[in-house]
């Protein structure tokens, strides 16, 4: 298929479109989103296309109320379906699923969560999960539902939401969902700021200071060869320059978000993650790095 994507609002419409699009022996690629699409999402669609070749690529646009806590930005989360459809068309997406809340949660609003749900386990209580209780349960419930609706062979998630990616992988493994989960590298502005739908909330001076998040991660990456302490120190030094950045966490973990051992052998792969508030906007970012044990030359 090519041209304008077919738009489905209900399960029935989606099932009909998928049956026609799947054809014989073609892999289905899937990119779940909450809309407000930007070039970061476009790169996920391109990755899905690369994974499935001429198989159908499906994008969902659904602002999932279950993953927003009280006082979070559910109501002000941007809804821009027309612009989203244009990006999907440009990226050669075949089907866009844009369901109502009632379509995804039939008991809504009396019954918020489905009776049978997904328990995300201990990884959902650290980092983002610590400040956003219930967030990852909401994410995994909707991702499980969307996987059930779309039945993708491969699903692409951005590394920008790294904890989400790790938890989706965990769910797919632990519940034998049979979906290949692909993590796609974070897209960045020329100065390094990770693309995010929330960047539009930053005023001019906050936008200037937001760059220190990625600068901190880059500094850690560049000094990681000297070991974890030096890497964290160089990141902190960058962050200290940003007066408006209210740091929530800056941590080094294993690639699957577990605690690093006290002594790391040279060549240990790790992840550095940061979260901070600029005014009322919360930003997150992360990068991979390889830790070493070299001595620092001062």
- Residues forming contacts to ligand PAF in the complex (CB under 6 A) are 32-34, 64, 67, 139, 142-143, 161, 164
Cβ distance to ligand PAF smaller for residue 45 or 142: 142
Catalytic residue chosen out of the listed positions 9, 25, 41, 135: 41
Q: Closest by alpha carbon to 251, among 267, 269, 236, 266?
A: 236
Give the end-to-end CA distance of the chain in Å, rounded to a whole number: 60
Angle (CA) 194-199-203 rounded to 5° is: 130
Residues 273, 247 contacting (CB under 8 angstroms) = no
Q: Closest by alpha carbon to 194, among 34, 39, 32?
A: 39
Minimum distance of ligand PAF from residue 289's CB (angstroms): 23
CA distance 134 to 125: 9
Cβ distance to ligand PAF smaller for residue 139 or 235: 139
Residues 279, 198 contacting (CB under 8 angstroms) = no
Cβ distance to ligand PAF smaller for residue 270 or 284: 284
Minimum distance of ligand PAF from residue 212's CB (angstroms): 24
Instruction: Please indicate whether residue 25 is annotated as part of the active site.
Output: no
- C-alpha separations of 127 from 122, 218, 247, 292 in Å: 11, 20, 12, 24
Minimum distance of ligand PAF from residue 64's CB (angstroms): 4
Cβ distance to ligand PAF smaller for residue 143 or 291: 143
Minimum distance of ligand PAF from residue 260's CB (angstroms): 26
Cβ distance to ligand PAF smaller for residue 84 or 161: 161
CA distance 284 to 273: 8
- C-alpha separations of 15 from 8, 22, 106, 116 in Å: 9, 10, 17, 23
Minimum distance of ligand PAF from residue 251's CB (angstroms): 20
Q: Which residues are catalytic?
A: 41
């Amino acid at each position: 298929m090519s041209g304008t994507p077919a738009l489905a609002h209900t399960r029935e419409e989606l099932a009909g479109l998928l049956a026609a699009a799947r054809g014989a022996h073609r892999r289905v690629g899937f990119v779940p989103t909450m809309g407000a699409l930007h070039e970061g999402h476009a790169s996920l669609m391109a990755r899905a296309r690369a994974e499935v070749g001429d198989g159908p690529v499906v994008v969902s646009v659904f602002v999932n109320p279950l993953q927003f806590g009280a006082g979070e930005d559910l109501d002000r989360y941007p809804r821009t379906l027309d612009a989203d459809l244009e990006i999907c068309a440009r990226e050669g997406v075949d089907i866009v699923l844009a369901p109502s809340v009632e379509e995804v949660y039939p008991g809504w609003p009396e019954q918020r969560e489905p009776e049978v749900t997904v328990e995300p386990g201990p990884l959902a209580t650290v980092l983002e999960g610590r400040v956003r209780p219930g967030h990852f349960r909401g994410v995994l419930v909707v991702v499980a539902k969307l996987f059930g609706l779309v039945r993708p062979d491969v699903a692409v998630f951005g590394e920008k939401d790294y904890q989400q990616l790790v938890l989706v992988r965990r769910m797919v493994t632990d519940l034998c969902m049979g979906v290949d989960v692909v993590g796609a590298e974070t897209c960045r502005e020329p100065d390094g700021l990770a693309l995010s739908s929330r960047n539009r909330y930053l005023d001019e001076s906050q936008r200037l200071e937001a760059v220190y998040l990625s600068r901190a991660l880059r500094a850690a990456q560049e000094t990681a060869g000297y070991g974890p302490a030096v890497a964290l120190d160089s990141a902190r030094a960058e962050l200290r320059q940003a007066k408006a950045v209210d740091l929530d966490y800056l941590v080094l973990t294993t690639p699957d978000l577990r605690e690093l051992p006290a002594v790391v052998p040279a060549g240990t792969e790790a992840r550095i993650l940061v979260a901070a508030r600029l005014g009322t906007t919360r930003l997150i970012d992360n990068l991979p790095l390889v830790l070493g044990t070299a001595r620092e030359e001062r």
